[in-house]
Structure 1
Amino acid sequence: MQPFGKPRILIIGCGDIGLRVAKQLVRHYKVFALTSQASRFAELRAVGATPLLGNLDEPNSLWRLSAIAETVIHLAPPQNMGRLDQRTRNLIRILSQRSNQVRRLIYVSTTGVYGNHSGAQVCETTPVHPESERAWRRVNAERALRLWAPAHGASLTILRVPGIYAQDRLPLERIEAKTPALIPEEDAYSNHIHSEDLARLVCAAVYYGKPQRVINACDGGETKMGDYFDQVADAFALARPPRLPAQELQALVSPMLWSFMRESRRVMNTRLGELKTALRYPSVAVFLKTISKNP
């Protein structure tokens, strides 16, 4: 590590959230961004990041990462199959090559690790109960990192994230396609965070994250999924989605979509204050008022 100049941060998985994070951090950090596509170099450089070519599925391509930065932000999702997150395992194997090199690691996980709680509240101390391979991979990544961090002198912050939304991440195609939602009495609670707020929370974790800590990075709202679709439809002057009982709806939607729709939990953000960052959009409704097409 260079004794002079800006401290270094490495972002793993620099998609939408990673780009937003990089834009905020380049003022105070030398930001490196791992990408598996050389075609993205110009996009990464445009936000002030230095691109590194490598693929988490190909460990031999990751050699540059072992001594590049003291802080790592891990945003990359697991691979699409299995219960183990091999990508995270490949990453920490490389980071372990330089003992105590990484001082801080922020991992962006998912509230899906809690599983279905039939509408009950969950918080950071609620035991994980994954009910899909997708959630199992996240649990596996969390556990691997929680073992690795203290053994290597690193401070680990895990941010569990619900549904991310933004102006370009709203379910407009679903609403326009008139895909049904569940009837209110069978509907599931959904949880949300605006993409800009999530990026700000990730940055805040760099400064304020406590060691070996889990934080639910959500707005704490308690909106049912169908009501969320109705809010978006109203904001864009679209017809609200029809409602169907669970038995009928399951037969119409994909297994992937159904896996999201059948899990109901109200995620509490009890520890969010530790990051000392107020949300710009404390609810979906607040955000939709800023873009509503209805008078």
Structure 2
Amino acid sequence: MPNSTRGGGCAKSDSRRSQSSLMTRGGRGGPLRSWGVAPMGDAAVREQGRPVVVCGCGYSGRAIAEHWPGPVWGTTRSEERAADLESAGIRAVQAAFAAGEPLPTLPESVAGGAAVLTMGPDRSPDVRDPHAALAEALDWLIRQGITDVVYLSSTSVYGRSRGGEVTAATPVNPEDEMGLRRVEAETLVRDRLQGRSRLSTLRLPGIYGPGRTIRQRLEAGRYRLVEGGTMFSNRIFVDDIATAVLRLLDEDVRGGIWIACDDEPFQVRDMVRFACDHLGCPMPPEVPLSSVPERIRPFWQGNRRCNADRLKALGWAPRWPSYREGLPEAWRREDEEQPPAEGER
């Protein structure tokens, strides 16, 4: 039975490392971390593999880089993150796309290699062109002689599906600015690379993993269940993105549109209840959609069931088929990074 605590938080929150501290050390606010994903393997063996460039070596990009069996270059704007990538065996490339700064030239050995683009539209409110950085990154990759590209997109391109199923063949139907910008980005990537590189566009639902779950908000009593959490959704564990990308960059794949997701569409309230039961939290309060900031409403309005059968036909399958396997794994990795509290050793 969930425990009631003052302010709606969890009884166990003091003995667990909060997501906010995880993100400070290992997410968008600081150096990236591996969180115990698959080891990068013997360095000498990796050097003999096919090179890959990860444009945007952040949360998902880092996982992809660490799974890749060959030499890896990863771009970042941050000097601090560049040092962190280097310490993990990833060749860091400091590149500020669309910033008016000169971009580096990669070694000739990269020519004929692969690239993974994790860059989405710029959502800054004052930006003139939300796709300027993506466009410059594409031109830069073309100059390096890249021949295979996987672009990470979003299932938001399908719009509001009202509980229906979407597949890789479902026509796009964006109904909000976020979805529209994603469709524009996909079109830009396709047009720039046409005739130059084999392109696979990989559409993803909500991404989760160590340091990126609802744990911290539940423990702090800050999570709100919008419209009762009745909408349908899917998730994908960050490591499963990496294995999907590796499969799409195999020689026998001809490119195209793909979805990668877990095996089980769910109503959000069921995932939240599962998390609360495991973390010892009360169920969060329900709020109407009108109370949610407009910029994040699309996350609650998709209401879709994603189907990855096309990708599965290539032999790919998620290692974490639902949140019931993935959330405990994410929390386990977080807790392994947390030194035992006094009295718990």
TM range (shorter): 0.7 to 0.9
Distance 1:259 1:110 in 2: 12
Cα deviation for residue 84 of structure 1 reads 4.8
1:31 is aligned, of 50, 56, 72, to 72
Indicate whether 1:190 and 2:236 are aligned. Answer: no
SS of residue matched to 1:210:
coil
From the superposition, tell whether residues 45 and 281 of structure 1 become closer, same or farther in structure 2 (CA, over 3 Å): same
Indicate whether 1:107 and 2:151 are aligned. Answer: yes
Which amino acid is the alignment partner of residue 126 of structure 1?
T
Indicate whether 1:236 and 2:279 are aligned. Answer: yes
After superposition, the C-alpha distances for 1:126-172 in whole angstroms (9 at most, x for unaligned) are 111122322222211211222233321x1111110111111321112
After superposition, the C-alpha distances for 1:6-49 in whole angstroms (9 at most, x for unaligned) are 43211100012222211222xx3221111111122221112211
Cα deviation for residue 280 of structure 1 reads 1.3
After superposition, the C-alpha distances for 1:75-94 in whole angstroms (9 at most, x for unaligned) are 12221147752222112223
Identity of aligned residues (%): 25
SS of residue matched to 1:57:
coil
1:90 is aligned, of 127, 131, 136, to 136
In structure 1, the partner of 2:62 is: 19
In structure 2, the partner of 1:278 is: 317
Which amino acid is the alignment partner of residue 162 of structure 2?
S
Mapped contact 2:214–2:223 kept (Cα < 8 A): no
Cα deviation for residue 208 of structure 1 reads 5.5
Mapped contact 1:157–1:212 kept (Cα < 8 A): yes
TM-score normalised to structure 2 length: 0.73
Q: Work out which structure has the larger RCO, using CA pairs closer than 8 Å and 6 or more positions apart in sequence.
A: 2
Distance 2:251 2:143 in 1: 27
1:201 is aligned, of 232, 235, 244, to 244
From the superposition, tell whether residues 22 and 61 of structure 1 become closer, same or farther in structure 2 (CA, over 3 Å): same
Which amino acid is the alignment partner of residue 232 of structure 1?
A
From the superposition, tell whether residues 66 and 133 of structure 1 become closer, same or farther in structure 2 (CA, over 3 Å): farther
Indicate whether 1:46 and 2:67 are aligned. Answer: no
Indicate whether 1:164 and 2:207 are aligned. Answer: yes
SS of residue matched to 2:262:
coil
From the superposition, tell whether residues 252 and 215 of structure 1 become closer, same or farther in structure 2 (CA, over 3 Å): same
* Equivalences for residues 139-178 of structure 1 within 5 A: 139-152=183-196, 154-175=197-218, 176-178=220-222
Cα deviation for residue 226 of structure 1 reads 1.8
1:55 is aligned, of 74, 85, 96, to 96
After superposition, the C-alpha distances for 1:224-247 in whole angstroms (9 at most, x for unaligned) are 122221111112111112334xxx
Which amino acid is the alignment partner of residue 137 of structure 1?
R
Which amino acid is the alignment partner of residue 144 of structure 1?
L
Q: How many residue pairs were aligned? A: 280
Unaligned runs of 5+ in 2: 1-46, 336-345
Distance 2:104 2:211 in 1: 35
Deviates more, 1:46-55 or 1:131-140: 131-140
Over aligned residues, Cα RMSD in angstroms? Answer: 2.6
In structure 2, the partner of 1:252 is: 291
Mapped contact 2:151–2:199 kept (Cα < 8 A): yes
SS of residue matched to 1:214:
strand
Distance 1:222 1:77 in 2: 24
In structure 1, the partner of 2:260 is: 217
Mapped contact 1:83–1:133 kept (Cα < 8 A): no
Cα deviation for residue 5 of structure 1 reads 4.9
Unaligned runs of 5+ in 1: none
1:267 is aligned, of 297, 306, 328, to 306
Cα deviation for residue 215 of structure 1 reads 0.9
Which amino acid is the alignment partner of residue 41 of structure 1?
A
Distance 1:63 1:221 in 2: 43
After superposition, the C-alpha distances for 1:155-192 in whole angstroms (9 at most, x for unaligned) are 111110111111321112333425431455x7211110
Which amino acid is the alignment partner of residue 240 of structure 1?
M
Distance 1:265 1:208 in 2: 32
Distance 1:103 1:274 in 2: 24
In structure 2, the partner of 1:134 is: 178
Deviates more, 1:202-211 or 1:101-110: 202-211
